[in-house]
Amino acid sequence: MQTWQLPQHIADILPERARQLESVKEQILALFRVHGFELVHPPLMEYSDSLLTHIDEGLSLKTIRVPDQLSGRQLGIRADITPQVARIDAHLLSHNQGINRLCYSGSMLHAKPDGLLATREPYQTGAELYGYAGTAADIELIDLMIKSLKLGGINNAILSLGHLGVFRALAQAANLQENQSRQLLATMQNKDREAVRDLAKSWQLDDIWTNALATLPELYGGRDILQAAKQRLPQLTAVSQAIDVLEQVCHAFPHQAVHIDFAEVRVDNYHTGLLYAAYAPEHHDAVARGGRYDGLGEYFGRSRPATGFSFDLRVFGAYLAASSRPEAVRVALADYAQAIEKINELREQGICVVVDYGMNDNSGSLKRLQKQGDEWILV
């Protein structure tokens, strides 16, 4: 085995792509800033208990663990930044009883990739809002998500909506156990109504709940599917409230392409209600995901309503225009010491100046800094 080979689903980011991603990252963080979101930098690694690995099975399977040689405790390399931000809101920013708007951008590691084409080192970027339970906060975050995608070159994203409240209301009414709910959710992902029905019948559920659960995989489509849901689902308060939230979001984005799926629940276990995601043409999976996760901070000492989204910054590489290296100015090595004041002046103006060692380089510079009379000028 060659020692320089990287692990599977791990890759370097080379100069052109790195320029693209850093540039769009700066623009997105600036966008977050003007919308009132403060930047935080959680650590790449902390004690695994703090990463919610023991209460979220999906997150636990993604998390790489190592022993801490200082404390003897188990460390985890983060597989998701959202729980870390929830910890910051609940613990380090607990003095603020109002709204906290927080954002972040950083690498995380997965023990296994999410798919055949997925990286194990996503560069997760996102924004979270804590302290307000109303749908207006979700709408604010969805709007920010769509604006972020446009900065990343994705102008025709489809907004996908779902709501965990519908399934959970039906599961509660049918008296499902937690393990039954998880099994049923997994079955629903294949959109196989009969498989859902057979599973519900095997548990001897009442027909009203068996039929309602088997209906969920069929309730997907455009905005008009909400009316169908009202007609076909049982009249439970929680179901009506969830549909009302979906209607509010649809009304807030009248010109946005929307897809609604009542069986779309492929999220981390900590989500609690409205789910939103964005899909782009010619991409195999969602380019951004988010949703409401009220109460996640309770584990860290403060339960708060919360909503937020995130995306892998690397995804934008396929949508951004090619990036060329900024033009550089060359200065001969023999002239460097004499020209240092002029060089510093140019660099302070944002102009790239490189030393010419008399060899080919990749600077692409066409201009030179030369002395004419008493002045250094660009030639």
CA distance linking residue 317 with residue 320, whole number of Å: 6
The Cβ of residue 257 has, within 10 Å, a number of other Cβ atoms equal to 12
Nearest to 284 by CA among 169, 119, 146, 123: 119
The verdict on whether residue 264 carries a ligand-binding annotation is: no
The verdict on whether residue 81 carries a ligand-binding annotation is: yes
Contact (CB, 8 A) for 91 and 69: no
The verdict on whether residue 82 carries a ligand-binding annotation is: yes
The verdict on whether residue 80 carries a ligand-binding annotation is: yes
CA distance linking residue 63 with residue 51, whole number of Å: 9
50-87 in b/e form (b: 16+ CB < 10 A) is: bbbbeebeebbebbbeeeeeeeeeebbbbbbbbbbbbb
Strand 367-372 relative to strand 328-332, pairing: parallel
Contact (CB, 8 A) for 93 and 100: yes
The verdict on whether residue 38 carries a ligand-binding annotation is: no
The verdict on whether residue 77 carries a ligand-binding annotation is: no
According to DSSP, the residues that pair with 46 across neighbouring strands are: 76
One-letter-per-residue 3-state SS of 215-226: HHHHCEECCCHH
According to DSSP, the residues that pair with 74 across neighbouring strands are: 67
Which residues are documented as binding site for L-histidine?
Answer: 80-82, 124, 128, 266
Q: Residues at the annotated binding site?
A: 80-82, 124, 128, 266
